[in-house]
Amino acid sequence: MKARYRYRFYPTVGQQQKLAQLFGCVRVVWNDALALCKQSQKLPSNGELQKRCITQAKKLEGRSWLKDVSVVPLQQSVADLGVAYKNFFDSLKGKRKGRKVNLPKFKKRTSRQSARLTQRGFRVKNNGKVYLAKIGDVKPIWSRELPAIPSSVTIIKDCEGRYFLSFVVEINPQQRPNNNKSIGVDLGITDFATTSNGEKYKAPKPLKRRLKRLRKLQRNLARKTKGSRRREKAKKRVAKLHAKVKDTRADFLHKLSTKIIRENQTIVLEDLNVSGMVKNRKLSRAISDLGWRDFRTMLETKSVMYGREFKVISRWEPTSQTCSCCGFRGGKKELGIREWTCLNCGAVHDRDINAAINILVAGGQSETQSAFPIGGNLRGVAPLNGRGGRHKTTTVAATCETSTQLEPVQLSLFG
């Protein structure tokens, strides 16, 4: 499977200028190609777009500066646009799993910038430096080793002005020893995660802590004249705060998901209607601040990497209403009720732990009822797509290179 490895680097002033030029060219080619696609009745081919937006454009007066940068990232920009369109159409036809994909958009000078180089455009040297075509050598901070020779690299400048190299590397999933343990995970607002073995994890809620400061910065930004230098600076301060929030959240999610994957062979999660819940205005910020969706993606990816089984049970499963001891259904419970007593067997339940156990059971039942001829517990033997029974469970494939390329490294795979 493919994974991304991301490293920060600090370009020299000269390199920063060259990178700005490169990002600009990549952006212009993307925007020109996108405009062309929007005008055309039938989507032009990759070759056609390359010819018109790169080769022929170089001869035009207003685009002659395209000659000054390496052609590799420009070709990639056109190719990426093709992938973006494919993802959009696949999503439209229901061929693509996950969130709905929108039409590709025009890129702005003020947002995150990136350029992708394939093997022709870069080289990782023995002395720890990385050669980038027409940019020169840069020295990333090797926070961990690259496991193999990368097939491509994306140069990123984020909104805060930080530079990163994000390598795509082919890795072999490591088969961790099967310890036959399984776990159900209930996601919530008070406690981020509650597991079926009774552990609770609090989320850092990084945005909530900084809300006051964020509001102040945003007010400050709104007062600045458009296009002024002070506005640019104010904007950067807001971006910096958001970056800090994102990093804190990602760090927590990575650590927790890695811990869960390390310790368990089967992981069962409830399929929450996150996008629906975010529409509830009272809850939306709190939920977005938690990062449920990212957490699920991390569990999915890491379970493939470590040969674990990851299951998602239907959101219609009455996990918080059913007694995990006797199976009695006690009816709907208000969110405020944290503890309840079963009317049938008298067991006292912590709401979340009870739900987590039910999630685990719902995930497990679909296993024993699956279509495999051998009876008993098939945990660990059942293939990744094993399913069946009356409980709807889905297992999800790893994110592949093409699906992550266009919005690269929201999550780099390892913490």
**Are 312 and 270 a contacting pair, CB within 8 Å?**
yes
Nearest alpha-carbon partner for 413 in 269, 272, 305, 285: 305
Candidate ranges 75-83, 172-180, 183-191, 342-350; the one touching Zn ion (CB under 5 A): 342-350
Question: Is 410 a binder of Zn ion (CB under 5 A)?
Answer: no
Question: Is 372 a binder of Zn ion (CB under 5 A)?
Answer: no
- What are the Cα distances from residue 240, in Å, to 70, 105, 235, 248? 30, 24, 9, 12
Which residue's CB is nearer to Zn ion, number 20 or number 325? 325
Q: 32, 80, 270, 289: which is the annotated catalytic residue? A: 270
Number of residues located near Zn ion, criterion CB under 5 A: 8
Question: Is 328 a binder of Zn ion (CB under 5 A)?
Answer: yes
Candidate ranges 259-267, 272-280, 338-346, 405-413; the one touching Zn ion (CB under 5 A): 338-346
What lies within 8 Å, CB to CB, of 250 at 6+ separation is 291, 294, 411
Taking the complex as a whole, the smallest distance from the CB of residue 379 to Zn ion amounts, in Å, to: 25
Which residue's CB is nearer to Zn ion, number 286 or number 325? 325
Q: Determine whether 294 is an active site residue.
A: no
Candidate ranges 43-51, 60-68, 275-283, 341-349; the one touching Zn ion (CB under 5 A): 341-349
Question: Is 326 a binder of Zn ion (CB under 5 A)?
Answer: yes
Query: Count of CB atoms within 10 A of residue 394's CB?
Result: 13
Q: 32, 309, 317, 352: which is the annotated catalytic residue? A: 352
Question: Is 342 a binder of Zn ion (CB under 5 A)?
Answer: yes
Q: Which of 103, 211, 345, 348 binds Zn ion (CB under 5 A)?
A: 345
Question: Is 344 a binder of Zn ion (CB under 5 A)?
Answer: yes
Q: Determine whether 339 is an active site residue.
A: no
Question: Is 348 a binder of Zn ion (CB under 5 A)?
Answer: no
Q: 186, 300, 309, 367: which is the annotated catalytic residue? A: 186
Question: Is 169 a binder of Zn ion (CB under 5 A)?
Answer: no
Q: Determine whether 80 is an active site residue.
A: no
Taking the complex as a whole, the smallest distance from the CB of residue 322 to Zn ion amounts, in Å, to: 9
Taking the complex as a whole, the smallest distance from the CB of residue 353 to Zn ion amounts, in Å, to: 14
* Sites of contact with Zn ion (CB under 5 A): 323, 325-326, 328, 342, 344-345, 347
Indicate which residues carry an active-site annotation.
186, 270, 352
